[in-house]
Amino acid sequence: MRKTTAPATRAIPSRPGPQHAPEPANGVIPGAGPTDPLADRPGRSSAESLADGPGRSSAESLAVGPGRSSADPLADGPEQPAAGPLTDRPTQPSVERATLRLREDPGRPGEPPRYAPEWLRLREPADGAARAHELLDPLRIHLADLPRRPGGLVVHDVGCGTGSMGRWLAPLLDGAQHWVLHDHDPYLLHFAAVAAPGSAADGSRVTVETRRGDLGRLTPDALAGAALVTASALLDVLTAEEVGTLAAACASAGCPALLTLSVAGRVDLTPAHPLDAEIADAFNDHQRRTGMLGPDAVTVAAEAFAAHGATVRAHPSPWRLGPGEAALTAQWLRGWVRAAVEQRPELREPADRYLNERLAACTAGELRVVVHHTDLLALCRPTGGAS
């Protein structure tokens, strides 16, 4: 895995690209604190500020390997065939169409799909509010029992995206921490490194390094010395085999895992609509394509970790979206419905009407949505790998 770093003081261009990816280096950088490289800047279009995405929590499930299709139907990459008026309505402003297509780099065939950092930024507050704090006390107790290392706790964040998991978790844990951020996309690793938190709950220092690579390289050797593996919305884009590999690596290293925001396969919309259930079923089928686990991921992961002797706890972590989250709700709706139509093209016309009605209700402040997720904590038996 290639280790890279990003200078904490370097300004991020309004539209960074591959040329701005972190350069190879052997050092680490301290967390950059409150700097927000994803904040809107003058001259940015709405397409850049609010990139579309689905309701799945994936946000950051990017460590899945080249050529793999993400469960996010709006992940960057080769554009899917237009799904009728949902994706290319003649009267739809061109800026909005661009948010559905996101970025693609035709000069890099075979590259894994990209998530737009603007979409990850839009959903980050909802992710933070949803994650299960109830799992933190058992995690803290477990970590407190581990032998202390000179550099503090080593935490591996798999499929880190823009680093929202670290920004949420590092300030909730005491003691010095060193975060190793894993992702395929150097574009996102750049954001994650620069926007990393600077201190832990007790003011101790937090440092980060980035590694570009996929889940298949997360071996027990790669986790040697790790105190924790984390991921946000990763499980549901993995296959059963990949989840087994992750569980085995954590168990062999004696490393606990906190895996948050995996979709549970249920969405509650208020007021209800006759098409809700059909759209939800089609979306769930879309997530299970190509062998990915989708809504079955937490059950499969719990069984895999338990088979290695880990103590497993699960807790609900739903998004609760109301009028105050209208921008996120609207973008989630577009991605959710688009995925359903990609899975079942016969839904195209009724789904277009459904989407228009739902977006109107969202704009009027009349729509509330609960997107159900589950967080999982697997406390593996300590081994020499954590000493």
On whether residue 345 sits in a domain, the answer given is no
Phi and psi at residue 67, to the nearest 5°: 85, -10
Distances (CA, A) of 90 to 84, 85, 96, 352: 10, 8, 11, 13
Q: Report the distance separating Cα 248 and Cα 242, nearest Å.
A: 10
On whether residue 12 sits in a domain, the answer given is no
Q: Report the distance separating Cα 79 and Cα 332, nearest Å.
A: 19
- Give, for 130, the enclosing helix (H) or strand (E): helix 117-130
pLDDT value of position 319: 97
Instruction: Report the CATH number that the domain containing residue 128 is assigned in CATH.
Output: 3.40.50.150
Return the DSSP state at 92. Answer: S
Tokens at residue 175, please?
Answer: 């003691």
pLDDT value of position 137: 96
Tokens at residue 79, please?
Answer: 């554009």
pLDDT value of position 247: 95
Residues with pLDDT less than 50, the chain:
1-113, 385-387
Q: What is the pTM of this model?
A: 0.73
On whether residue 366 sits in a domain, the answer given is no
The residue to which tokens 């559905």 are assigned: 100
Full residue range of the structural domain in which residue 179 is found: 1-7+18-262+292-318+374-387
Sequence-distant (≥ 6) Cβ neighbours of residue 56 within 8 angstroms: 71, 72, 233, 236, 263, 287
CA torsion through residues 147, 247, 191, 126, sign: negative
pLDDT value of position 368: 98
Residue 377 bridge partners (DSSP) = 258, 313
On whether residue 278 sits in a domain, the answer given is no
pLDDT value of position 114: 54
Write the pLDDT tens digit of every residue in 181-227.
Answer: 999 888 889 989 999 998 999 999 999 999 988 776 778 888 988 99
pLDDT value of position 15: 32
On whether residue 185 sits in a domain, the answer given is yes
How many distinct structural domains can be found in the chain? 1
Write the pLDDT tens digit of every residue in 270-321.
Answer: 999 999 999 999 999 999 988 999 999 999 999 999 999 999 999 999 999 9
Question: Do 340 and 347 contact (CB within 8 A), yes or no?
Answer: yes
Q: Report the distance separating Cα 33 and Cα 194, nearest Å.
A: 8
